Amino acid sequence: MHPQRSTPLPALSRRSFLVGAGAIGAGLALAGCAAPGGAAGATEISFYVSKPEVIGYFDTLIAEFHKTQSTVRVIRDSTSNMSADFVRNRPPDLGCWNYNFSMVQFVERGALSDLSDISEADRINPDIKPLLAATADYPGRTSVIPYSLTAASVLYNRDLFEQYGVAVPTTWDELVRVCEVFLAAGISPFFNTYKDTWTVAQGLFDYTVGGMLDVSAFFTKLKTEGTAVDARSAVSFQKDFEEPMTRLGELAKYANSNAASRGYGDGNLAFAQGKAAMYLQGPWALNEFAKTNPAMKVGTFPLPVTNDPGDLKVRVNVDLALWIPEVSTKKDAARQFLSFLMQPEIQNKYNADNNAFGTTKDAPPTTNPALVGMQQYYDDAAFYLGASQLIPSGIPVANYAQSIALGSSPIPVLKQIDGDWARLALRS
């Protein structure tokens, strides 16, 4: 904006000091006014995308979009506080965000505009609609257009598996044996990163729950219980999640010893360096490994939590969905960019480049070798939405999962989640 203002002011008399202060103030005021307006003639829209792995990718897409037309200029935003933006009635004109608990408040309070009348809405794969509705729904509206679907399971180091002659496990007992083999060889079976709580929720928590329970049936029943969720209700966290959480605790024993102080970035680095055999992350991490170790061979398999291979399923989530807020004054411009992003050659390329699955009826199947291990489960619809993604964000489930991973006994924690659920039902 005015970088020259940053040079130190010359020796200050009070008067020059005040003048300088006034100038900076005026500069800021101008900057504040100028920012929303922008280049003459073109409509400037703000586009929110915060997924750290793909911010650069979208910058390239924005540049391409700017080349194709000159009426809409896109400003990317990756740092705004979304709730604050909605509260002050200045949300981004187009949002591109993970469709999970964090979207519930915007969808269910009717803050997102209806997109059912745009042509892209008809191209969406109907199988995905129930996934959207299970997370959040506003009756009579198409609040979001799903953009990218990811399937997550265990990522494993193919070279290490080969070197130690172990096969991909399909039952819990086999998994434990695999872990013992690596442990005996002095290799950490899993690399866990408890410092970033979302990684615990996404990996250990969701995989153990999804591998044992019918997640969507559980939450459907749970919603009918409302404020009555406790030890005596038909379903509850303390009854249904105890077994998966026990498994979680057992798996945590096979993790790196410093898991408690490692974060997502540390995990990506360590796994790419071959410091562990398995890593509970989604395909979004694959490109991060490539930054450290481009030649790395990674495979995927669903985490076996029971001894019945028929229970194997993968976790899916609508990794990115597009939406336009009701209060946006630039809906047409936003829709124009949305249509650009939804062009098959752009959307399919995004999903191929980022190891994700498409969301349209005509999306091609994935050819990525790292994802082949999941394709069959995906085709058979042997997948579930992550349980942690369906629990409202008022309940700090990732923190609870972290404390179980760190050794807390599951039952008191699960009782607390039941209580939180009942209180939330009471007040909403």
Partner 1 sequence: MTSQISLAPPSTGGERTPVNGDSAHPRARTRGERFNWPVTIALLVCTLAVLIPLYVTLTMAFKTTAQAVDGNAFSLPAPFSVDGFVQAWTLTDFPRSFAISIGVSVISVVGTIILSAFAAFAISRNWNRRFFRWSFYYLLAAIFLPFPVLALSQVKLTGLLHLDNPIGVAILHITFQLGFSVLLFTAFLRSIPEELEESARLDGASTAQVFWQLIFPLLAPMSATVGIFAFLASWNDFVMPSLITSNPALQTLPVLQQIFQTQFSNNYNVSFASYLMAMAPAIIVYLFTQRWVMSGVTQGAIK
Partner 2 sequence: MAVVTPSQVSRKVHKPQRVGATYYAFLLPVLVLFSLAITLPAIMGIFYSFTNSVGFGDYYFIGVINYIALFSDPTILGAYGFTIGFSLVTVAVVNVAAFLLAIGLTSRIRGKVALRALYVLPMVVSGIVIAYVFNFLFSNSLPELASALGIAPLEKSLLANPDLAWVAIVIVTAWQAIPSTILIYIAGILAIPSDVYEAAALDGASGARQLWSITVPLTAGYILINVIIGFKNFLNSYDIIVGLTNGGPGTSTTSIAMSIFNGFTNGDYSYQMANATIFFFIAIAIALLQLRVTRGKASV
Residues that bind partner 1 in the complex, under the rule CB under 8 A: 1-3, 5-6, 18, 20-21, 24-25, 27-29, 31-32, 35-36, 52, 55, 75, 77-81, 84-85, 87-90, 263-266, 268-269
Question: Is the four-CA dihedral 209, 211, 215, 218 of positive or negative sign?
Answer: negative
| Shortest distance, position 20 Cβ to partner 1, whole Å | 8
Contact with partner 2 (CB under 8 A) among 45, 49, 82, 131: 82
Measured torsion, CA atoms of residues 138, 139, 144, 150, in degrees rounded to the nearest 10? 80
Q: Which is nearer to partner 2, 356 or 397 (CB)?
A: 397
Span near partner 2 by CB under 8 A; candidates 72-80, 185-193, 207-215, 411-419: 411-419
Contact with partner 2 (CB under 8 A) among 187, 275, 408, 411: 408
CB–CB of 136/97 below 8 Å?
no
Residues 229-288 that bind partner 2 (CB under 8 A): 257-258, 260-262
| 337 binding partner 2? (CB under 8 A) | no
Q: Which is nearer to partner 2, 249 or 373 (CB)?
A: 249
CA gap 288, 14 in Å, rounded: 53
- Please state whether beta strands 276-279 and 188-190 pair in parallel, antiparallel, or not at all (unpaired): parallel
Helix (H, G, I), strand (E, B) or coil at 188: strand
| Shortest distance, position 82 Cβ to partner 2, whole Å | 7
| Shortest distance, position 407 Cβ to partner 2, whole Å | 9
Helix (H, G, I), strand (E, B) or coil at 330: coil
Q: Which is nearer to partner 2, 84 or 381 (CB)?
A: 84
Q: Which H helix or E strand runs over 44?
A: strand 43-49
| Shortest distance, position 195 Cβ to partner 2, whole Å | 7
3: partner contacted, choices partner 1, partner 2, none (Cβ within 5-8 A by kind): partner 1
388: partner contacted, choices partner 2, partner 1, none (Cβ within 5-8 A by kind): none
CA gap 322, 308 in Å, rounded: 38
| Shortest distance, position 28 Cβ to partner 1, whole Å | 5
Contact with partner 2 (CB under 8 A) among 58, 86, 289, 383: 86
How many residues touch partner 2 under the rule CB under 8 A: the total is 41
Q: In what order do the strands lie in the sheet with 154-157?
A: 188-190, 276-279, 154-157, 298-301
How far does Cα 352 stand from its chain's mean position? 17
| 223 binding partner 2? (CB under 8 A) | no
| Shortest distance, position 88 Cβ to partner 1, whole Å | 2
Helix (H, G, I), strand (E, B) or coil at 26: helix
| 140 binding partner 2? (CB under 8 A) | no
| 378 binding partner 2? (CB under 8 A) | no
How far does Cα 206 stand from its chain's mean position? 13
269: partner contacted, choices partner 2, partner 1, none (Cβ within 5-8 A by kind): partner 1
CA gap 320, 322 in Å, rounded: 7
Dump strand ranges (E) for 91-153.
94-97, 145-152
Of 252, 283, 286, 255, nearest in space to 272 by CA? 286
CB–CB of 387/209 below 8 Å?
yes
Contact with partner 2 (CB under 8 A) among 24, 104, 269, 296: 104
Helix (H, G, I), strand (E, B) or coil at 185: coil
375: partner contacted, choices partner 1, partner 2, none (Cβ within 5-8 A by kind): none
| Shortest distance, position 23 Cβ to partner 1, whole Å | 9
Q: Which is nearer to partner 1, 87 or 381 (CB)?
A: 87
How far does Cα 408 stand from its chain's mean position? 26
361: partner contacted, choices partner 1, partner 2, none (Cβ within 5-8 A by kind): none
CA gap 205, 87 in Å, rounded: 32
DSSP-derived secondary structure for 35-64: HHH-SSSSEEEEEEE--GGGHHHHHHHHHH
Classify residue 36 as exposed, middle or buried by CB count within 10 Å of its CB (0-12, 13-18, 19+): exposed
The residue ranges that bind partner 2 (CB under 8 A) are: 81-84, 86-87, 89, 102, 104-106, 109-111, 194-195, 197, 257-258, 260-262, 392-394, 396, 399-400, 402-403, 406, 408, 413, 416, 419-420, 423-424, 426-428
